Amino acid sequence: MKYSIIGNGIAGVCAAETIRQLDRAAEITLIGDETFPPYSRPMISHVLDGSLSSEKLPIRSSRFYDDLKIIPVLGSRVSAIDVDRRVLTTTDRKETTYDKLLIATGADARPVVAKGVDLKNIFYMRTEAHIRSIIECLPTAETALVLGGGLVGFKAAHGLLKRGLKVTMLITSGYPLSMQVDETAGQMILAELLKSGLTVRVGTSVMAFEGKGKVKRARLSDDSTLSCDMVIVGKGVSPSLAFVPKEKIKIDHGILVDHHLQTTIPDVFAAGDVAEAVDITRKRRWINAIWPEAAAQGCVAGANMAGRHVVYPGSVSRNVMRVMALDVMTLGLVNPPDDFGYKVMAHADRRRGRYRKLVFRDNVLVGAMLINDIDQGGILLSLIQNEIPLKIPDRVLMDPSFNFGKLIA
Ligand SMILES: Cc1cc2nc3c(=O)[nH]c(=O)nc-3n(C[C@H](O)[C@H](O)[C@H](O)COP(=O)(O)OP(=O)(O)OC[C@H]3O[C@@H](n4cnc5c(N)ncnc54)[C@H](O)[C@@H]3O)c2cc1C
């Protein structure tokens, strides 16, 4: 049996390992356009902030491909799939045939749309190569602009501050992390960021970059200009699927997959940030672009490709981050739509920097947001994932000392 996997990230690697465990004789080809060995993408920001050397990024040993008898085709980008002939074509026009295929190509950073984007020293922060370029630029930079107040924008701003740069973060919405938190939490986080020495401008976007060859200024939507020697763009990601034949493989935002992570074409699977699989709390297909789900999906897809019948239980979005003195955790659906009968209980204690928000649908916890009160986050996640009905009074649920663990035992 010939298996091909496109994407050398965590989803692709986990799939390859699972296939090898289940099919000793299989021919497994892993095609990836990065040349660096499989590495921890979330940790690249620690290379930027100087707390980790890039040699520590790999998640598998240098013998990984040999040990598992995987054929690596690295530095190679797939440009087309012919699902009728079962053939992949790479940009250098080489063809690879397959019996079973996994698309695990992750996501690309969403490009910024503004004049002057081709100037030097405007960077994205998705890959190890991006980080290398950013670090090369640091000695010549004093001021930096970070576009976007999401997770990547945060990590970029933190890293640049630690490197001693004067950093401005530009956020289009009214508060940071607007895709992850609500306004109450967003304002608490904003206040904390301002204490860190970061300049934050909300409700503002960039219209143009200016400079001679290299970026020197950004022209903003309020007609002001801002000096900057470098820019990092953190405006979100889009699934990397330009090469996917959309007339054959059904796509919504990502590649639509069933409970076995198979696409609408038999023997073609998708996993990780590129795949739109079932989301437990939303009760529909959704992309939760996080590392643990990409790993889990890679394993499930690999098992099903190798002939097992493993059902993917569905994902729950989650983020845990430290913002200066705040621990912030979000789980599941934290900003539910107003009109679907969700029950929301929230309590903020600004003096202590604490916030707890719980979201229920029919007595089942579907979302939780915690600031500085995150000890029980793991239990709350388990309650959400297992959809355990909670028939207890509201005042008990919101009591900070209530032990949710009792509900699982
Ligand atoms: C800066 C940063 C911080 C993050 N922090 C966290 C965090 O704290 N916690 C968390 O859970 N998640 C975090 N994430 C998200 C996490 O890294 C992703 O969810 C995870 O890496 C997805 O894995 P994947 O295998 O689906 O895709 P990827 O890791 O993106 O791997 C896909 C691979 O496929 C390659 N590829 C794409 N197209 C092609 C093609 N046509 N041909 C060949 N190869 C191709 C890509 O170059 C890439 O090497 C972070 C991401 C970034 C960028």
Q: 240 CA distance to ligand 1 centroid (A)?
A: 10
Does 392 have pLDDT greater than 90?
no
Q: 399 CA distance to ligand 1 centroid (A)?
A: 38
Does 46 have pLDDT greater than 90?
yes
Q: What is the mean pLDDT of residues 134-161?
A: 96
Give the per-residue pLDDT at 408.
Answer: 67
Does 207 have pLDDT greater than 90?
yes
Q: Which CATH number fits domain 122-233: 3.50.50.60, 3.40.50.150, 3.40.50.720, 3.30.40.10?
A: 3.50.50.60
Give the per-residue pLDDT at 324.
Answer: 81
pLDDT (tens digit per residue) in 265-306: 999 999 999 999 999 999 999 999 999 999 999 999 999 999
Q: Whose Cα sits closest to atom 38 in ligand 1?
A: 105
300 Cβ contact partners less than 8 Å away, ≥ 6 residues apart: 260, 261, 271, 310, 311, 312
188 Cβ contact partners less than 8 Å away, ≥ 6 residues apart: 326, 348, 350, 353, 355, 371
Token pair 């949710």 is found at 404
Give the per-residue pLDDT at 339.
Answer: 72
| Ligand 1, CB cutoff 6 Å, lining residues | 6-12, 31-34, 41-42, 44-45, 77-78, 104-107, 125-126, 151-152, 155, 240, 243, 272-273, 289-292, 294
Does 125 have pLDDT greater than 80?
yes
Q: Whose Cα sits closest to atom 51 in ligand 1?
A: 42
- As annotated, the residues of the chain forming the CATH 3.30.390.30 domain(s) are 333-407
Q: 61 CA distance to ligand 1 centroid (A)?
A: 19
CA angle 338, 286, 278 (to 5 degrees): 105
Give the homologous superfamily in CATH for domain 333-407.
FAD/NAD-linked reductase, C-terminal dimerisation domain (3.30.390.30)
What gap in Å lies between CA 70 and CA 16, rounded to an integer? 8
Of 375, 384, 381, the closest CA to residue 402 belongs to 375
Does 402 have pLDDT greater than 90?
no
pLDDT (tens digit per residue) in 50-109: 999 999 999 999 899 999 999 999 999 999 999 999 999 999 999 999 999 999 999 999
Give the per-residue pLDDT at 407.
Answer: 72
Give the per-residue pLDDT at 144.
Answer: 98
State percent of the chain over pLDDT 70: 100
pLDDT category, 42, cuts 50, 70, 90?
A: very high
Mutation pick for ligand 1 pocket among 133, 291, 312, 323 (CB with most ligand atoms within 8 Å): 291
- As annotated, the residues of the chain forming the CATH 3.50.50.60 domain(s) are 2-108+239-305, 122-233
Residues 306 and 296: beta-carbon distance below 8 Å: no
Q: 388 CA distance to ligand 1 centroid (A)?
A: 31
pLDDT (tens digit per residue) in 301-352: 999 999 999 999 999 999 999 888 899 999 999 999 887 789 999 999 888 8
Q: 276 CA distance to ligand 1 centroid (A)?
A: 15
Q: What is the mean pLDDT of residues 205-210?
A: 97
The token pair at 52 is: 């980790």
Q: Which atom of ligand 1 is nearest to the CA of 107?
A: 30
pLDDT category, 404, cuts 50, 70, 90?
A: confident
pLDDT category, 409, cuts 50, 70, 90?
A: low
Q: Which CATH number fits domain 2-108+239-305: 3.40.50.1980, 3.30.1330.10, 3.40.50.11890, 3.50.50.60?
A: 3.50.50.60
Of 357, 364, 358, the closest CA to residue 386 belongs to 364
State percent of the chain over pLDDT 90: 89
